[in-house]
Amino acid sequence: MRVRCDKHVCQWTGTIATLEYHVKNTCRYTLICCPNKCTYNEVSVSIMRKDLEDHLKSKCPNRSHKCGYCGVEGTYVSTTTEHDQKCSKKPIPCLNKDCTLTMERGRVQDHVASECEYTIVSCKYSNIGCTEKMKRKDMKNHEDDKVHLHLSLEKINELSIDLEELKGKKAIFVNVCSFGEKKEKNVRFKPEPFFTVPNGYKMTIMVCCNGNGDGAGTHVSVFAQLLDVPYKEQLKWPFKGTVTLDLLNQLQDAGHKGVNIVFIDNEYARIGGSAWGLPTFIPHSKLSYNAAANTCYLVDDTLHFKVTVQEHNDRPWLR
């Protein structure tokens, strides 16, 4: 006896013995689950067998897909939503709204920090006292207009640098390059030690790129530490002074992130004392370009610190 398939649109006929096999394995109208286990509103999707090929080819959210910008592979959904929001090769517009350039997401931060014509920058003579700020594109005009101002500022500055040196407050500049790698590897970066004055206290600073203590994993931590010297008997102990660390804003001579590490009569103020500083110096999230504050501390994967030491010595001739 021949029977028809129980899916009313199906034209199949056969023996009753083969009906079950037909429905289970070949009927084009049987609902089957997507082999990619895709879901819709958290319910597993089932499709008629006849539509499966088309579903897998062009509709299934879990079908494999490559990001069109960087080629990373994943499901269609992940590569077009989550990944798309952070793909470093996807072209996006510059963060400065007047700039019409579009570039790979991964390049935007460098573009804004070092080349965008519309980034607000300080006059390149800000280090000698010109306080003007302008869009980068207007810099040339400003320089032409203010030649005399800049020249006289230069003169004044030469004098004040001499004064700074007399007071023993000369600054030391420290660059922390390959920041990303140092952060990844939890590096405690210690640059060359320095002396507060010739034959004075020997110190080092330490920058923990991936944080330490309360700042572990979230902040950059900074510390200062006293080091041993052969003439330590001739120095006055405990060391009393302030180590000032400034993380320099690369966009203008303002908005630097500073901390004063004060050494008084405590265990840190002696040789052999542990490093003393601030574990939660700056959150990682604040290092990159911030349009509102016009700050950017991390440029070319490098942080720039200025270090100054002020000794609290009321009778410097007795040292």
Query: According to CB under 5 A, which residues from 143 to 172 bind Zn ion?
Result: 146
Nearer to Zn ion, 84 or 165 (CB): 84
Q: Pick one of 99, 203, 222, 247: the residue that binds Zn ion (CB under 5 A).
A: 99
Q: Taking the complex as a whole, how short is the minimal distance between the CB of residue 251 and Zn ion, in angstroms?
A: 13
- d(CA 63, CA 261) in angstroms, rounded, equals 56
Q: How far is the CB of 28 from Zn ion (least distance, A)?
A: 7
Measured distance CA(252)–CA(121) in Å, rounded: 5
Among 130, 248, 287, 303, binds Zn ion (CB under 5 A): 130
Q: Which amino acid is at 260?
A: N
Provide the token pair at 161. 């640098």
CA 178 from centroid of its chain's CA atoms: 11
* Residue found by looking up tokens 């640098």 in the block: 161
Closer to Zn ion by Cβ: residue 221 or 252: 252
Cα–Cα distance measured from residue 119 to residue 134, given in angstroms and rounded to the nearest whole number: 8
Q: Can residue 12 be called a binding residue for Zn ion (CB under 5 A)?
A: yes
Give 114's contacts (C-beta < 8 A, 6+ positions apart): 299, 300
Site string for Zn ion, 247-266 (x = CB under 5 A): --------------------
Beta carbon of residue 42, minimum distance to Zn ion (angstroms, whole number): 14
Rounded Cα distance between 160 and 152, Å, is 13
Residues that bind Zn ion (CB under 5 A): 5, 7, 10, 12, 27, 34, 36, 38, 60, 67, 69-70, 72, 87, 94, 96, 99, 101, 116, 123, 125, 130, 132, 146
